[in-house]
A and B are shown apart, each in its own frame.
Chain A
Amino acid sequence: EAQVTQNPRYLITVTGKKLTVTCSQNMNHEYMSWYRQDPGLGLRQIYYSMNVEVTDKGDVPEGYKVSRKEKRNFPLILESPSPNQTSLYFCASSPRGNSYEQYFGPGTRLTVT
């Protein structure tokens, strides 16, 4: 089944404790991206990747890191999480970029205390 998977789905952590949210797609898509969703703000893009080893900042990259060493994986790293990073996070992929249908993962609900 074609899908985007994220892990974990729920995470409660404390300020400053490094964490990684994994994202994997099995559709051989070139384009992957990370979003955060906050009430009333819609989706805001954190980082995106056009292909392996190619990443770029979105609208809200501060406090986040990403890497794209393999085509299928695009982990999101929070080196030192803060409470303002409490949010719902989505990973998405598409064949070649934003002019194509985006396939979303199920979301990761992160709470930083």
Chain B
Amino acid sequence: SQQGEEDPQALSIQEGENATMNCSYKTSINNLQWYRQNSGRGLVHLILIRSNEREKHSGRLRVTLDTSKKSSSLLITASRAADTASYFCATDNSNYQLIWGAGTKLIIKP
């Protein structure tokens, strides 16, 4: 079952611009996580936000969570070429599983 859905599916921006990706989910959650995946490689954890948190920062990353709308956004500020990757959100459910979206493919043009 696919709970998280990222939007947009693909995003192409100029280096230095900000990138925003969104994630929507269907059922109540305990937390929501964002991961990055460089082409064909293992996923790397970026940030975890719990259901009682509304915003979290980590370096150039800002994540918001709106549980009333069942959605989250990931903002990457001052993008760099190295940010080119696919970004996934993952939500937990009551059965000790993480449910993943299909991802947003981000391309940073030099």
Binding site for B on A (CB under 8 A): 4, 33, 35, 40-45, 48, 50, 56, 58-59, 88, 90, 92, 97-107, 109
Chain A residues near B1: list those with CB within 8 A: 59
Is B18 at the interface (CB under 8 A from chain A)? no
Q: Across the two chains, which residue of chain A brings its CB closest to B44?
A: A104
Q: Are B45 and A107 in touch, CB under 8 angstroms?
A: no
- CB-CB under 8 A for A40 and B100, given A99-B30, A101-B48, A103-B45: no
The CB with the most chain A CB atoms within 10 A, among B1, B44, B45, B92, is that of: B45
Q: Is the CB of A104 within 8 A of B42?
A: yes
Residues of A within 8 A of B103 (CB): 42
B33 touches A90 (CB 8 A): no
Which of B4, B30, B43, B48 makes the CB contact (< 8 A) with A104?
Answer: B43
- A101:B45 contact, CB within 8 angstroms: yes
Known: A101-B45, A102-B45. A42 touches B92 (CB 8 A): no
- Counted as pairs of residues, one from A and one from B, with CB atoms less than 8 Å apart, the total is 61
List 5 interface pairs A-B (beta carbons < 8 Å), by A numbering: A43-B100, A45-B97, A59-B1, A100-B48, A101-B33
User: Would you call B100 and A98 a contact (CB within 8 A)?
Assistant: no
Assess the B101–A42 pair: CB atoms within 8 A.
Answer: yes
A43 partner residues in chain B, CB cutoff 8 A: 43, 88, 90, 100
Query: Do A48 and B96 have beta carbons less than 8 Å apart?
Result: yes
Min CB distance, B95 to chain A, in Å?
A: 8
Q: A42-B101, A102-B45, A104-B44 are in contact. Are A97 and B88 (CB under 8 A)?
A: no
Nearest B residue to A4 via CB reads: B42
